[in-house]
Chain A
């Protein structure tokens, strides 16, 4: 199975900060990489699919990049509602494994 890693595992940031989260796959997955936002007690929400395709309704401050094994999620200016845990997920093979998550909390 493909293993996904993320860094950092957590970070503290302030509203208005630029945040960058990295995701790495254990083998090449082309651009079959998706990003989700998770808040406790709520359903996960897809932000980006295919490495860089922003989902409808997701603010443009979110962006994704990368291909092959290395990917990045960027939030250009953090808003209060963005404090959450972010997961990458590969859909190159099934089961489509998730990364361990990056928790973004208030500095």
Chain B
């Protein structure tokens, strides 16, 4: 059974940092691209970051470019999102999602339950 478990969310002040993790199990993690998507009441679902199976290709939405960095450790079946210079508008539920191919241009067939990030003073 495919499982994705996010962790690392919490309350942080503007300008602060958080590192999200997504522990994967039940599939060959090294074979698939992985993604981060967030949900906010204001914007709905927003695509944040993508990383290819081998981590050669990475992309980030303009709204987080230069502040967020996606990475992965295939030896530990774990996806990461380093979030720096956080802003109040980054507040939301962050989901990791599994792609269906090594490259990032696919839909997402499995999602975690999310981890909540709150940026406030």
Contacts and interface: CB of A to CB of B under 8 A. Distances in A.
Interface in A73-91: 85, 87, 89, 91
Given A44-B95, A97-B47, A32 B105 contact: yes
Give the secondary structure class of B's interface: strand
Contacts of B113: 42-43
B45 A44 contact: yes
Contacts of B45: 36, 38, 44, 87, 89, 98, 101
B108 A46 contact: yes
Interface string B37-68: 10100011111111000000001111000000
A77 B108 CA distance: 26
B43 A96 contact: no
B62 to A, nearest CB: 6
B107 A95 contact: no
A98 B47 contact: yes
Nearest to B99: A91
Contacts of B60: 95
B66 to A, nearest CB: 14
Q: How large is the interface on B (under 10, 10 to 19, 20 to 34, 35 or more residues)?
A: 20 to 34
Contacts of A93: 105
B11 to A, nearest CB: 19
A62 to B, nearest CB: 14
A106 B37 CA distance: 27
Nearest to A97: B47
B47 A96 contact: yes
Contact of A91 (B44, B59, B62, B106): B106
Contacts of A94: 50, 59, 104-105
Nearest to B113: A43
A1 B46 CA distance: 13
Interface in B103-118: 104-109, 111-114
Interface string B18-47: 000000000000000001010100011111
8 contacts: A43-B95, A43-B112, A44-B95, A46-B108, A89-B45, A96-B104, A96-B105, A98-B44
Interface of B: 35, 37, 39, 43-50, 59-62, 95, 97, 100, 104-109, 111-114
